[in-house]
């Protein structure tokens, strides 16, 4: 059987995910929002006698070393593959060609798939595919992933990709630059990568390619010869875009439309992108959905807890042995996991996926910029912060949508105050259940205030220039439900496979410690903390174990204090407990993720600082409360 | 590209010149020039007689359009006070910019009107980008790759508190004020 490995490359919102959907089905779905996927996803499919592996890359505007997404795609270009499908947008051909021309510079066998052909025709834009094919010297195939038009032909062309000519169109730069390219090319180490591509990238200042040069002086020398030439990098960009628009104009015929009709898209944007209306609607919408989710989550959680409790009690009544202990504690862990995962995590990701696919999310980012700018963060930080309301671990990974490592870490530091679903469950399930909803709300407000104070303080630590807003707003679309479902599942998969087993394990560990009576060893030395918090000494157990697994906090509080919490703690203590467990890096899984992204030192620094800050704040908060009432 | 430069040079001097003069004027490796000359002669654009070169009638016509393009662009870049040196920028762009853009730029430069920063551009009016002046290269490259390029049609559709939203190459793009004020455009009605 013949096997092919093909890259899928395209600018954001070019219909890459729907093409992949049409090619392999909704198994692998990538978001239409630029930047939510910063990883490569692969999907294999058999077509008759051939097997094609599609390697999906993050949507980017050009090959560059500017951000994580672009680097990921750049690296994918030179991993073993048979060629690439570049997806172009017929509505905005010159822009698509800009990137396509870059891919052609890399001398990889390329097929151009032209999407949105019908939409373009509605706008009076008609593209001559044959002519485009003639100019670029590569196959050009009009597609429509929704009606599957052109998909068979695309697959067929992929199987013949070996015969795609390698002498495709190449952008020709200014003479001086061309001679610099020649000079650099002669100083490149032995490699499979196109020497011209390496030369151009190094001239553009992409440091990732400097390793291919025989010595470091090559670029400096070449640039010295170019002295007196205007900015070389800009020149390269201008020439490339100029060439792209020149080709686009050559192959496009535009029939101007007489009157631009008012459309719903613009009408919605009139509100969502309004100077004042936009931010207001965004905030209102967020509060409404957050409240709605809490309400719905509470309902589902109540039902699920009822079911699992009755199940567990039937096991627990059996004889007391190590085995039943392991079983009961393990199952409790799983039960808690499910009752959080299903209502909070899944509902939340489902909603987020919907907003994303409809196209509203990018408008929210634009509006969030106003608020986040005050905290020294770009609007894009909205995505990881919103994801943080689900689970901190995947949200930490999502900070990659931000350009610099510093911006990423700055955002991650705020996760200490964005209650994840587990923390929300504590606030609702413990504070809300035993102390009432008003008390739960004050915990939310307290941690929000704590977060604001932290954010304004930490803003001064990160003395960085923020990435200015430059964001495409995709047209509103009807979401494909299977896409949204698949995406929500992919996002919560980590939670299900990683967090739930750890929950079970944490439960068992605690059971063993408890059986051996080891828990008391921890309680004594840590009593200063509980004294400061005005809580009974035993409560340090759920606080400490909460870090191993947040969702165990509730069960442990019950097991150290007995099931009548209201008798052991007064309302103020319940509130303090809630605040102390909410603020901080929630759990060891999140810590692991932060270590992975930012290194051990930074991660520990953040975890310890935020934990100390949280405990100090909680102690202060109840004292203030005490004086007030 | 060398070919266009040779033709332009010939028409600027407007008499027959030595091959050596060309080799001095155009700073490109000599083999490239010899190859270009060969091809030009084959295409019937120039005559080479005993080391002297002159334009044929066909060549003169072709050179005229190249020269015009060059002058238009040079003039334009001088007027817009672009960061790029006007003469050299014109020299780069003349090879790539299409006839349509040249016509527009010609109009722009004869108008003696400068574009206004996008932050001050009238809402919902169509216009053309005339200048992009972002000094951070990576940001400049990102802006260009999103279609913010001189000659592209734009429409500012909304003002937001920290910038604007515009339509370019049929796509909506939100732009921070700090970037928007460094891009200039002219209204169609003024062109």
Last residue of a domain, one of B57, B92, B112: B112
For A175-253, CATH number?
Answer: 1.10.287
Task: Work out how many domains chain B is built from and give that number.
Answer: 2
* CB pair distance less than 8 Å for A249 and B100: yes
Residues of B in contact with A366 (CB under 8 A): 160, 165, 174
- Restricting to B residues 147-176, those with a Cβ less than 8 Å away from any Cβ of A are 147, 149, 151-152, 157-163, 165, 169-176
* CB pair distance less than 8 Å for B92 and A235: yes
Q: What is the pLDDT of residue A11?
A: 92
User: A34: pLDDT confidence band, cut at 50, 70 and 90?
Assistant: very low
Smallest Cα distance from A353 to chain B, Å: 21
Span(s) in chain A for CATH 1.10.287: 175-253
Average pLDDT over residues B64-73: 66
Quick check: B9 contacting A, CB < 8 Å?
no
Give the range among A40-49, A206-215, A341-350 with minimum mean pLDDT.
Answer: A341-350
Give the range among A34-38, A45-49, A86-90, A423-427 with minimum mean pLDDT.
Answer: A34-38
Which residues make beta-bridge pairs with A5?
A53
Residues of A in contact with B133 (CB under 8 A): none
d(CA B93, CA B64): 16
Most A CBs within 10 Å, among B160, B164, B166, to test the A interface: B160
B96 and B130, same domain (yes or no): no
pLDDT of B111 above 60: no
Q: Is there a contact between B143 and B132 (Cβ–Cβ < 8 Å)?
A: yes
pLDDT of B99 above 70: no
Smallest Cα distance from B168 to chain A, Å: 9
Smallest Cα distance from B85 to chain A, Å: 6
Which residue from B minimizes the CA distance to A365?
Answer: B174
Q: Which residues of A382-396 are buried (b: 16+ CB within 10 A; e: fewer)?
A: bbbbbbbbbbbbbbb
Q: Is there a contact between A77 and A197 (Cβ–Cβ < 8 Å)?
A: no
d(CA B46, CA A410): 64
Quick check: B29 contacting A, CB < 8 Å?
yes
B65 and B12, same domain (yes or no): yes
Most B CBs within 10 Å, among A279, A471, A476, to test the B interface: A471
SS3 A624: helix
Mean per-residue pLDDT over chain A, rounded: 84
Please give the full DSSP string across A331-397, using - where no structure is assigned: HHHHHHHHHHIIIIIIHHHHHHHHHHHHTHHHHHHHHHHHHHHHTT--GGGHHHHHHHTT-HHHHHH
Query: Using alpha carbons only, how large is chain A's radius of gyration in Å?
Result: 28
Residue A297 backbone zone (phi > 0: left; psi -120 to 50: alpha; other: beta): alpha
Most B CBs within 10 Å, among A88, A170, A366, A378, to test the B interface: A366
Q: What is the pLDDT of residue B79?
A: 52
* CB pair distance less than 8 Å for A470 and B89: no
Residue A599 backbone zone (phi > 0: left; psi -120 to 50: alpha; other: beta): left
Average pLDDT over residues A153-173: 85
Residues of B in contact with A172 (CB under 8 A): 1, 95
Most B CBs within 10 Å, among A71, A95, A119, A375, to test the B interface: A95
B33 and B94, same domain (yes or no): yes
Q: What is the pLDDT of residue B44?
A: 79
Q: Is there a contact between A95 and B171 (Cβ–Cβ < 8 Å)?
A: yes
SS3 A127: strand
Quick check: B146 contacting A, CB < 8 Å?
yes
**Range with top average pLDDT, A106-115, A244-253, A555-564:** A106-115
B108 and B125, same domain (yes or no): no
User: B82: pLDDT confidence band, cut at 50, 70 and 90?
Assistant: very low
Residues of A in contact with B142 (CB under 8 A): 61-62, 64, 66, 470
SS3 A131: helix
d(CA A604, CA B190): 60
d(CA A152, CA A35): 29
pLDDT of A323-339, one tens digit each?
777 777 777 777 777 77
- The secondary element (H helix, E strand) that includes residue A3 is strand A2-10
Most B CBs within 10 Å, among A169, A253, A469, to test the B interface: A469
Q: How far is CA A532 from the centre of its chain?
A: 38
**Which is higher by pLDDT, B21 or A80?**
A80
Q: What is the pLDDT of residue A37?
A: 53
Most A CBs within 10 Å, among B137, B157, B167, B183, to test the A interface: B137
Average pLDDT over residues A201-221: 87
pLDDT of A31 above 50: no
pLDDT of A155 above 90: yes
* CB pair distance less than 8 Å for B160 and A470: no
DSSP B133: -
The token duo for A605 is: 């620094």
* CB pair distance less than 8 Å for B138 and A366: no
- The secondary element (H helix, E strand) that includes residue A503 is helix A500-515
Mean per-residue pLDDT over chain B, rounded: 75
Classify strands B126-132 and B153-160 as parallel, antiparallel or unpaired: antiparallel
Quick check: B98 contacting A, CB < 8 Å?
yes
pLDDT of A277-300, one tens digit each?
999 999 998 888 878 877 887 777
SS3 B52: strand
* CB pair distance less than 8 Å for A238 and B159: no
CB atoms within 10 A of CB A125: 21
Q: Is the pTM of this model over 0.80?
A: no
* CB pair distance less than 8 Å for B84 and A172: no
DSSP A123: T
pLDDT of A456-497, one tens digit each?
988 888 877 777 889 999 999 888 787 788 777 777 776 677
d(CA A331, CA A301): 16
B93 and B122, same domain (yes or no): no
Residue A490 backbone zone (phi > 0: left; psi -120 to 50: alpha; other: beta): alpha
d(CA A124, CA A119): 9
User: A366: pLDDT confidence band, cut at 50, 70 and 90?
Assistant: very high
pLDDT of B83 above 50: no
Output the domain CATH number for residue B15: 1.10.10.10
pLDDT of A93 above 80: yes
Average pLDDT over residues A92-117: 94
Which residue from B minimizes the CA distance to A378?
Answer: B176
Q: What is the pLDDT of residue A298?
A: 73
B149 and B98, same domain (yes or no): no
- CATH for the A2-163 domain, from 2.40.128.690, 3.40.50.2000, 2.40.128.20, 3.40.50.300: 3.40.50.300
Residues of B in contact with A62 (CB under 8 A): 141-142, 145
B98 and B172, same domain (yes or no): no
d(CA A561, CA A535): 11
Q: Is there a contact between A255 and A126 (Cβ–Cβ < 8 Å)?
A: yes
Classify strands A2-10 and A470-473 as parallel, antiparallel or unpaired: unpaired
For chain B, how many helices (H) and strands (E)?
8, 9
* CB pair distance less than 8 Å for A92 and B145: no
User: CB under 8 Å, gap of 24 or more: what pairs does A386-389 form?
Assistant: A386/A352, A387/A352, A387/A491, A388/A414, A388/A415, A388/A418, A388/A420, A389/A290, A389/A348, A389/A418, A389/A419, A389/A420, A389/A421, A389/A424
Residues of B in contact with A179 (CB under 8 A): 28-29
Q: What is the pLDDT of residue B51?
A: 72
pLDDT of A379-416, one tens digit each?
889 888 988 888 888 788 888 888 888 889 999 999 99
Residues of B in contact with A278 (CB under 8 A): 160
Assembly ipTM: 0.83
B106 and B122, same domain (yes or no): no
Average pLDDT over residues A253-262: 70
Please report which residue ranges of A460-496 form alpha helices under DSSP H.
481-494
B17 and B86, same domain (yes or no): yes
The token duo for A194 is: 């196109």
**Which is higher by pLDDT, A157 or A421?**
A157
Q: What 3 state SS string does A321-335 have? A: CHHHHHHHHHHHHHH
* CB pair distance less than 8 Å for A468 and B139: yes
Q: What is the pLDDT of residue A448?
A: 93
* CB pair distance less than 8 Å for A273 and B141: no
User: A601: pLDDT confidence band, cut at 50, 70 and 90?
Assistant: very high
Q: What is the pLDDT of residue B46?
A: 80
**Of all residues in chain A, what percent carry a pLDDT higher than 70?**
93
Q: CB pairs below 8 Å between A and B: how many?
A: 161
Question: What does each C-alpha distance from A439 to A2, A306, B57 come to in angstroms?
Answer: 64, 24, 91
**Of all residues in chain A, what percent carry a pLDDT higher than 90?**
30
Question: What does each C-alpha distance from A38 to A41, A68, A72, A402, A411 come to in angstroms?
Answer: 9, 7, 7, 10, 17
Last residue of a domain, one of B51, B85, B112: B112
B30 and B11, same domain (yes or no): yes
B48 and B96, same domain (yes or no): yes
Which candidate, A537, A491, A181, A517, places its Cα nearest to that of A341? A491
Last residue of a domain, one of B83, B112, B141: B112
d(CA A346, CA A495): 10
Q: Which domain holds residue B163?
A: 116-190
* CB pair distance less than 8 Å for A95 and B145: yes
Give the range among A183-187, A444-448, B1-5 with minimum mean pLDDT.
Answer: B1-5
pLDDT of B114-163, one tens digit each?
788 999 999 988 888 888 888 888 899 999 999 998 888 899 999 998 89
B105 and B125, same domain (yes or no): no
* CB pair distance less than 8 Å for B161 and A176: no
d(CA A284, CA A290): 10
**Of all residues in chain B, what percent carry a pLDDT higher than 90?**
22
SS3 A569: coil
Span(s) in chain A for CATH 3.40.50.300: 2-163
Smallest Cα distance from B162 to chain A, Å: 7
Smallest Cα distance from A162 to chain B, Å: 30
Smallest Cα distance from B180 to chain A, Å: 10
pLDDT of A33 above 60: no
The token duo for A153 is: 């032909």
User: A105: pLDDT confidence band, cut at 50, 70 and 90?
Assistant: very high
């Amino acid at each position: 059987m013949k096997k092919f490995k093909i890259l899928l490359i395209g600018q954001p919102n070019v219909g890459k995910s729907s093409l992949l959907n049409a090619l392999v089905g909704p198994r692998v779905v990538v978001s239409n929002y630029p930047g939510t996927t910063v990883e490569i996803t692969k999907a294999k499919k058999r077509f008759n006698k051939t097997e094609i592996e599609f390697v999906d890359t993050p949507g980017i505007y050009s090959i560059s070393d500017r951000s994580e997404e672009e680097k990921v795609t750049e690296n994918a270009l030179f991993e073993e593959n048979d060629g690439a499908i570049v997806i172009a947008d017929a509505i905005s051909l010159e822009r698509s060609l800009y990137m396509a021309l870059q891919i052609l510079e890399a001398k990889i066998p390329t097929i151009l798939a032209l999407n949105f052909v019908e939409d373009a025709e509605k706008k009076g834009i008609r593209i001559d595919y044959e002519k485009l094919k003639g100019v670029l010297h590569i196959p050009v195939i009009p597609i429509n992933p929704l009606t599957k038009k052109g998909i068979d032909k695309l697959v067929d062309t992929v199987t013949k990709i070996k015969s795609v000519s390698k002498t495709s169109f190449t952008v020709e730069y200014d003479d001086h630059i061309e001679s610099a390219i020649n000079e650099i090319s002669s100083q490149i180490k032995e490699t499979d990568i196109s020497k011209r591509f390496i030369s151009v990238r190094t001239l553009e200042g992409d440091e990732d390619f400097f390793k291919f040069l025989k010595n470091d002086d090559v670029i400096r020398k070449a640039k010295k010869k170019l002295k007196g030439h205007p900015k070389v990098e800009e020149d390269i960009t201008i020439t490339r875009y100029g060439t792209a628009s020149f080709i686009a104009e050559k192959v496009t015929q535009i029939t101007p439309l007489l009157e631009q009709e008012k459309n719903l898209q613009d009408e919605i944007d009139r509100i969502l992108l309004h100077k004042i209306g936009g931010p207001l609607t965004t905030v209102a919408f967020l509060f409404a959905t957050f409240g709605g989710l809490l309400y719905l989550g509470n309902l589902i959680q109540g039902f699920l807890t009822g079911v699992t409790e009755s199940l567990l009690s039937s096991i627990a009544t059996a004889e007391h042995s190590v085995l039943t202990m392991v079983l009961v504690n393990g199952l409790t862990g799983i039960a808690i996991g499910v009752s959080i995962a299903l209502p909070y995590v899944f509902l939340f990701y489902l909603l987020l996926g919907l907003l994303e696919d409809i196209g509203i999310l990018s408008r929210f980012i634009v509006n969030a910029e106003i608020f986040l700018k005050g905290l020294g963060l770009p609007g894009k930080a909205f995505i990881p912060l919103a994801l943080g309301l689900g689970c901190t671990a995947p949200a930490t990974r999502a900070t990659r949508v931000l350009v610099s490592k510093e911006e990423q870490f700055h955002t991650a530091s705020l996760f200490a105050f964005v209650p994840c679903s587990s923390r929300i469950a504590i606030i609702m399930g413990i504070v809300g259940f035993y102390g009432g909803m008003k008390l739960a709300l004050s915990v939310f407000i307290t941690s929000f205030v704590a977060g604001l104070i932290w954010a304004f303080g930490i803003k001064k630590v990160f003395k960085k220039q923020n990435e200015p807003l430059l964001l495409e707003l995709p047209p509103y679309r009807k979401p494909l439900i299977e896409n949204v479902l698949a995406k929500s599942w992919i996002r919560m998969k980590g939670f299900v496979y990683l967090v739930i087993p750890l929950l079970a394990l944490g439960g068992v560990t605690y059971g063993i410690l408890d059986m051996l009576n080891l828990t008391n060893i921890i309680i004594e030395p840590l009593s200063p903390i509980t004294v400061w918090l005005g809580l009974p000494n035993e409560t340090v157990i759920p606080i400490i174990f909460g870090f191993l697994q947040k969702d165990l906090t509730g069960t442990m509080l019950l097991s150290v204090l007995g099931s009548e919490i209201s008798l052991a703690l007064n309302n103020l203590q319940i509130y303090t407990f809630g605040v102390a467990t909410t603020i901080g890096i929630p759990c060891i899984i999140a810590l692991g993720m932060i270590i992975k992204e930012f290194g051990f030192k930074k991660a520990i620094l953040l975890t310890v600082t935020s934990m100390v800050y949280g405990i100090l704040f909680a102690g202060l908060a109840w004292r203030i409360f005490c004086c007030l009432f | 590209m060398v070919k266009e430069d040779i033709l332009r040079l010939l028409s600027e001097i407007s008499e027959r010149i030595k091959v050596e003069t060309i080799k001095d004027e155009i700073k490109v490796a000599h083999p490239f020039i010899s190859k270009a000359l060969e091809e030009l002669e084959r295409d019937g654009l120039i005559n080479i007689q005993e080391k002297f070169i002159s334009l044929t009638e066909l060549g003169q016509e072709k050179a005229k359009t190249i020269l015009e393009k060059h002058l238009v662009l040079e003039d334009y870049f001088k007027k817009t006070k672009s960061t790029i040196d006007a003469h050299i920028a014109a020299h780069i762009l003349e090879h790539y910019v299409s006839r349509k853009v040249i016509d527009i730029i010609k109009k722009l430069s004869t108008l003696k009107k400068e574009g206004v920063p996008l932050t001050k551009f009238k809402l919902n009016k169509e216009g053309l980008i005339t200048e992009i002046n972002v000094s951070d290269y990576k940001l400049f490259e990102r802006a260009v790759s999103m279609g913010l390029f001189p000659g592209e049609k734009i429409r500012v559709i909304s003002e937001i508190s920290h910038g604007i939203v515009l339509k370019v190459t049929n796509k909506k793009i939100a732009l921070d004020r700090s970037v928007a004020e460094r891009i200039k455009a002219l209204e169609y009605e003024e062109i």
